[in-house]
Amino acid sequence: MLRFLLNRLVQIVILLVIVSLIGFFILNLIPGGPLAQYALDPGMTADDMERLKEQLGLNRPIWVQYLDWAWRLVQGDWGHSFRDGASVLDVIARHVPATLLLMGSSTVIAIGIGTWVGIRGATHRYSTFDNVATIAAMVALSIPTFWFGLVGIYIFSLQLGWLPAGNMYSVGDQSVLDYLHHLIMPSIVLALVHIAIWSRYMRTATLDVMNQDFVKTARAKGLSERRILMKHIVGNALLPMITLAGMQLPALLTGALVTETVFTWPGMGRLFLDSVSYGDYPVVMGLLMFSAVLVIFGNLLADIAVAIVDPRIRLS
């Protein structure tokens, strides 16, 4: 286990270096550079700009800037926002909980419903339920998340008035119920596409396992159909799904960014868009590194979970 973690740690470090390199240099290819916003200010003189550049260290060669940024990052100093001088870590920490809340509730919904639909689709193959689920999944996969968000707002907020159209809470009322009320629509909208993906994979995995010899053994032992399904089929079918959950994490994260924008959800997505348009490079890089770490550790967790559940895999 320790060796496995050590191996993975080395891989993770290499991966993070590559991600940061690509992110840093592509960001600096954007026309206008980090000071484009200031250049729009009519009060700024060329001298002011030069002074600002020097202050922010932007006059140095780009690889020096990268090494300086990376060295500080390793030491725990993620830099300061160009906009208001706030510490990048503080800025991210303020926005992360909202995103994690959205992603977490969406994951619970997606896995719960997707697993059920997938298993039922497999056990009742080619039934009306299965056919409807198949078509619904295709629809959910073909239509972009933001469209579902807009339609949801139109129907449930504007027409029916059941759910709030945006934000995470109402000003003056921050009870748990109020949070939940605001959470319902964004988390379901974000979950839709993942329900579709999850249910399709789950259906295939279940069908796969149903044809295995050990299921026939279980039947020959005189077990009830219910126990065969729950104990022998579902457990084995869920194994590959753990890995899938890890692999779906980036999609879930990007989906969350879109959903947050639609529902003015105060998470990393909004922060990311604002920071890019403002040219706030330190915050953008900080968000990039944070997402990378999140995704990588999500996958690491998935690998460890598979090893715990599957006795054939031991992390040694």
Partner 1 sequence: MVENAEPTTTGDLALSVRDLTVALPKGMDRLYAVENVSFDLQRGKILCIIGESGSGKSVSANAIMGLLPNALRVQSGSIVLDGVDVTTSPPHVLRDLRGRVASMIFQDPLSALNPLMTVGAQIEEVMAAHDVGTPQSRAEKALSLLREVNLPDPEVMIHQYPFRLSGGQRQRVMIAMALALEPAVLIADEPTTALDVTTQAQILELIREIQQRKGMSVMFITHDFGVVAQIADDVVVMEKGHIVERGSAQQVLNAPEHPYTKQLIAAVPKMRRDDRETDAPATGVSQLLEVEGLTKTYRTARGMFQPPRIVKAVNDISFDLAPGRTLGVVGESGSGKSSLGRVLMKLLDNEGGSIRFEGQEIAGLSEKAFKPLRTKIQMIFQDPFASLNPRATIGYSLTVGPIAHGMSKAEAREQAKALLERVGLNASAYDRYPHEFSGGQRQRVGIARALMFRPKLLIADEAVSALDVSIQAQILELLQEIQRETGVAMIFITHDLRVASQICDEIAVMQKGQIVEYGPPSQIFIAPRSEYTRELVAAIPGRASDLAEAAQAGSVR
Enumerate residues 6+ apart whose C-beta is below 8 A from 300.
8, 12
Name the residue nearer to partner 1 (CB basis): 104 or 235.
Answer: 235
Helices (H), 28-164: 36-39, 46-56, 62-74, 88-123, 128-142, 145-152
Name the residue nearer to partner 1 (CB basis): 52 or 244.
Answer: 244
**What number of residues does the chain have?**
316
Cβ atoms of 16 and 297 closer than 8 Å: no
In terms of phi and psi (left: phi > 0; alpha: psi -120 to 50; beta: otherwise), the region of 42 is alpha
Name the residue nearer to partner 1 (CB basis): 72 or 227.
Answer: 227
- Read off the tokens for 42: 């009519």
- DSSP for 117-136, please give it: HHHHHHHTTTSHHHHHHHHH
Q: How far is the CB of 169 from partner 1 (least distance, A)?
A: 43
Name the residue nearer to partner 1 (CB basis): 72 or 216.
Answer: 216
Q: How far is the CB of 100 from partner 1 (least distance, A)?
A: 31
Name the residue nearer to partner 1 (CB basis): 178 or 208.
Answer: 208
In the 8-state DSSP scheme, what is residue 231?
A: I
Q: How far is the CB of 16 from partner 1 (least distance, A)?
A: 17
Q: How far is the CB of 246 from partner 1 (least distance, A)?
A: 19
Name the residue nearer to partner 1 (CB basis): 194 or 232.
Answer: 232
Cβ atoms of 118 and 202 closer than 8 Å: yes
Cα separation values, 199 from 104, 142, 216, Å: 18, 15, 24
The CA distance from 209 to 230, in Å, is: 12
- Read off the tokens for 281: 């490079």
Name the residue nearer to partner 1 (CB basis): 49 or 307.
Answer: 307
Cα separation values, 286 from 38, 98, 194, Å: 21, 17, 27
Q: How far is the CB of 53 from partner 1 (least distance, A)?
A: 43
The CA distance from 249 to 251, in Å, is: 5
Name the residue nearer to partner 1 (CB basis): 5 or 108.
Answer: 5
Q: How far is the CB of 214 from partner 1 (least distance, A)?
A: 5
Q: How far is the CB of 126 from partner 1 (least distance, A)?
A: 12
Beta-bridged to residue 87, according to DSSP, are 80
Q: Provide the binding-site residues for partner 1, judged by CB under 8 A.
A: 3-4, 6-7, 10, 212-214, 216-224, 227, 231-232, 235-236, 239, 309-312, 316
Q: Of 141, 277, 278, nearest to 201 (Cα)? A: 141
Q: How far is the CB of 218 from partner 1 (least distance, A)?
A: 7
